Structure 1
């Protein structure tokens, strides 16, 4: 499905609201939202099929907003935390030198959306492998209105706190054959201090590309009845990392105490739902 939305301020207010609703209904899990900004899709992958991708930016708030779009470079640690880095290293190559985007500044009124174009270029002679950067969307603060500074001088103390948020999505270039393999290890079941049921395990990666997908956890009771007890969507394991520690909260069905039986963890590719890795833990 390909929906292209241009400057929605040209359309009636009711239609703009409907577009936001349509994005939620049809794209659901592929939307990335924080604050009043909704971004679809939540990552971009150039794999040789297309050189231009499009992002839909939507402002779901009641006020106008200005967003500045730039590149930021991250490295992921084993706990899934993204750490800002400045230079490339072995296994970590940046996509930003080979990607351009426009516009870089977007102003959206309430319930407005706009297309952002992301184009890959000058990649003919790059080596096989994966290149990754992150598109960073930063909400800009409103400029101080005329006269505000003068009024502030009249007060003895004037303190104004404003939250400025930013979100990022991965932008990946892949060239050559994907030789990545995944596995799940170190599975264990435990309870937290608050008596939450937790499943701990490690996702392992070997090969030349990053991995991205969804986890589904099932519990197979001693009577062989199967319950879906946990899920985590949109999990990435980025180069050069070879492992990511996972901690999944389990929802025990009524009259199920997780005694005996087994847990089954399945990791599937986000779009195709292809099984990338699976493992079992007997209790």
Structure 2
């Protein structure tokens, strides 16, 4: 045949990360402070400088070659826009679809597509921001080691009740439409055969949080326990109250040790859940006597969102 036909079916997989939570919000990840004040935002921020092929400090990356900065977006007060930087760390150019989607956090910290949740009561607790968000551009082509800004704009109706609203900004790679294979090549040299090529679509998501009016949040720690195993961890339940999510770092300390026994950064609890249980890995390089039976440990949850550096919750427990 004079023309070449691509006989490959692309099976698309989207791998999203959060959240910072880092979420995350899709997965626990560190975060850069949004500001030192409650009403500040990342609005119209310039792209931070970074070496070619690298993303700036505070960016979040997934399985692909694209990074996003910041790790989460918070818009509050009188701000009505924000920007997200996309960084292509690959040696080749890449094309990415930009979208806003609605997701829900589960009590175990997973962030799932809201449409996949069958429980109406759980869905009703999610306050989405997508109806009030616009963004541009919606498709980005990035040369190797280049970056570009995507602008997010929010329009809040005057009668919108006070509270926190959230959706998720996603950048998903676009595979080539035609990889140039002939039908004979796609068939793998077998008569009558049809080849199928799996083309993964790697993606990454960050939360976009819109706070309207006065919001409140309190946190507490409960059910602290050390769990021994191949990877010794400290289990902690973070309880949240109020109309705002909480986001911060968990640090476990022991008397007589300058280094933390364990640390987990970028842990959030969104408004649709009241509590979340996490596991803080214990540093295996430390003296096991620091967390032996009878040892006293302190767990501190430090804000990295509304008032960075402020202690949200603190609790002691004795290892059993």
- Normalised by the shorter chain, which TM-score bucket? 0.7 to 0.9
Which residue does 2:59 correspond to in 1? Answer: 31
1:215 matched residue in structure 2: 250
Instruction: Tell me if the contact between 2:248 and 2:268 (Cα under 8 Å) persists in the aligned partners.
Output: yes
Establish whether residue 281 from structure 1 lines up as the match of residue 310 from structure 2: no
Alpha-carbon distance in structure 2 between the residues aligned to 1:243 and 1:105: 36
| Equivalent-residue separation in structure 2 for 1:17 and 1:179 (angstroms) | 36
Residue correspondence of structure 1 range 96-107 to structure 2 within 5 A: 96-107=130-141
Shift >4 Å, 4+ stretches: none
For residues 1-283 of structure 1, what are the structure 2 equivalents within 5 Å?
4-5=46-47, 18=51, 21=54, 23-24=55-56, 28=57, 30-34=58-62, 35-86=64-115, 89-145=123-179, 148-149=182-183, 151-152=185-186, 155-156=189-190, 157=193, 158-192=195-229, 194=230, 196-220=231-255, 224-257=256-289, 258-259=291-292, 260-271=294-305, 272-283=308-319
Structure 1 residues 111-147: Cα deviation after superposition (integer angstroms, max 9, x where no partner):
0100110111143221111111111211111120456
Structure 1 residues without counterparts, runs of 5 or longer: 7-15
Contact 1:203 1:245 in 2 (8 A): yes
Change (3 A) 1:178 1:20: farther
8 Å contact 1:229–1:253 — kept in the other structure?
no
Structure 2: how far apart are the matches of 1:150 and 1:62? Answer: 30
- Residue 237 of structure 1: CA displacement? 0.7
- Relative distance call for 1:255 and 1:214 in structure 2 (3 A) is closer
Give 1:148 shift: 3.6
Conserved 8 A contact 1:75-1:82 = yes
- In 1, the alpha carbon distance for the partners of 2:155 and 2:248 equals 27
TM-score (norm 1): 0.85
Q: Which has the higher strand share?
A: 1
Distance (Å, rounded) in 1 between the aligned partners of 2:187 and 2:233: 55
Structure 2 Cα separation of the partners of residues 148 and 123 of structure 1:
54
| Residues 213-272 of structure 1 deviation map (CA, whole Å, 9 limit, x = unaligned) | 11111122xxx4443121111111112100001111101444442224311111111151
Task: Output the CA distance in 1 between the equivalents of 2:153 and 2:216.
Answer: 25
Alignment RMSD, CA only? Answer: 2.5
Q: For 1:138, what is the secondary structure of its paired residue? A: strand
Change (3 A) 1:168 1:3: closer
SS in 1 for 2:51: helix
Matched-pair contact (CA < 8 Å) for 1:135–1:170: yes
1:54/1:17 CA distance change after superposition, 3 Å: closer
TM-score, normalised relative to structure 2? 0.75
Give the whole-Å Cα distance in 2 for the aligned partners of 1:155 and 1:17. 46
How far apart, CA to CA, are the structure 2 residues paired with 1:147 and 1:252? 50
What is the alpha-carbon distance in structure 2 between the residues aligned to residue 164 and residue 62 of structure 1? 17
Q: Pick the structure with more helix per residue.
A: 1
Counterpart-to-counterpart distance in 1, 2:286 and 2:46:
45
With CA pairs under 8 Å and 6+ residues apart, which has the higher RCO, 1 or 2?
A: 2
